[in-house]
Amino acid sequence: MGRDTSNVSLARRAYAIRRNALLMGEVQGQGYIGQALGAADVLAVSYFHALNYRADDPKWEGRDRFLLSIGHYAIALYAAMIEAGILPDAEIETYGMDDSRMPMSGMAAYTPGMEITGGSLGHGLGIAVGMALGLKRKNNPAFVYNMMSDGELGEGSTWEAVMSGVQWKLDNLIAIVDFNDQQADGKTTDALAQVPEAGRWEGFGWFAQEIDGNDMDALVAAFDAARAHPDPVPRVIICQTKMCKGVPFLEDREITHFVRVEPDEWARALTILDEDRPDE
């Protein structure tokens, strides 16, 4: 069992993920820090409550597959995988550097534990469909999680995969939608009609839950329900998250897809985060 059995609280894990992400952002002086801070709670519950994995064996056949369709969220996933011990702390300093195992956009060939090459949006869910089919062929009980963004709901290929998941009764497929309502040019909901989101997935036949993605208890309950749901249908957890969550002065900044952080603000953000460090 790789599932976390330590007594470290999920809140503390989320704090550590945010801290790792800020440290990496500071290394490059940039990064998708808004997304990383917003999704830290989702990743904490994924890696320290839901997922089955072995930190020292990222290719372990029994692992739950966690696909990062949104390649630009790599900073967030690295932060989580560092906290999980899949990647070493020492490599934080290499983030985005030449020859780093942690490039700015997530790619399978670079990083242990990175299942797919994301970044061209609308790819992850389709690959997840194929992996879920493959696991069933092998009678492997693992789950496939596909972490995606609200912006990817604009890609037609996402909806091909949504229909396919239902067609093949993929009860081992769990989509996680990070719904922060931001994409490159502005609000996602201003670009393509996106509401009511859960109803749309339910209409296609998915077991859909829509929750506050920064509420730890709600996340735990939703992941548990997604795994335990008895019907032979794929599952989606739509996580309403707040960009930059955990660093109030960034939360209050005019929120954009790519949050600008001044050089001196990284240390300030870390200080603020540390002031509210949860207990283990």
Partner 1 sequence: MNDASLSRRKSKYTPRTVPVSEDGSKLTTSAMIASLDAEGRETVAAPFGHALVDLAKTRDDIVGLTADLSKYTDLHVFAKAYPDRFYQMGMAEQVMISAAAGLAREGFTPFATTYAVFASRRAYDFICMAIAEENLPVKIVCALPGLTTGYGPSHQATDDIAIMRAMPNLTVLDPCDATEIDQVTRAIADHPGPVYMRLLRGNVPDVLGEYGYKFKLGKAQMIRDGRDVLFVSSGFMTMRVLDAAKRLQADGVDCAVLHVPTIKPLDLETIAAEAAKGGRLVVTAENHSITGGLGEAVAAALMRAGVHVPFRQIALPDAFLDAGALPTLHDQYGISVDAVTASVKAWL
Binding site for partner 1 (CB under 8 A): 107-109, 115-117, 119-120, 122-123, 125-135, 137-138, 156-157, 160-161, 163-164, 167-168
Helix (DSSP H) and strand (DSSP E) numbers for the chain: 10, 5
Nearer CB in complex with partner 1: 129/218: 129
- Helix, coil or strand: residue 186: strand
- CA-angle at 58, arms to 8 and 109, nearest 5°: 125
What's the min distance (Å) between Cβ of 39 and partner 1? 22
d(CA 270, CA 250): 12
What's the min distance (Å) between Cβ of 133 and partner 1? 6
Nearer CB in complex with partner 1: 31/126: 126
Nearer CB in complex with partner 1: 41/155: 155
What's the min distance (Å) between Cβ of 164 and partner 1? 5
**186 phi/psi in degrees, rounded to 5:** 145, -150
d(CA 12, CA 1): 21
Nearer CB in complex with partner 1: 72/123: 123
What's the min distance (Å) between Cβ of 128 and partner 1? 6
d(CA 103, CA 228): 35
d(CA 128, CA 134): 10
What's the min distance (Å) between Cβ of 161 and partner 1? 5
Nearer CB in complex with partner 1: 85/130: 130
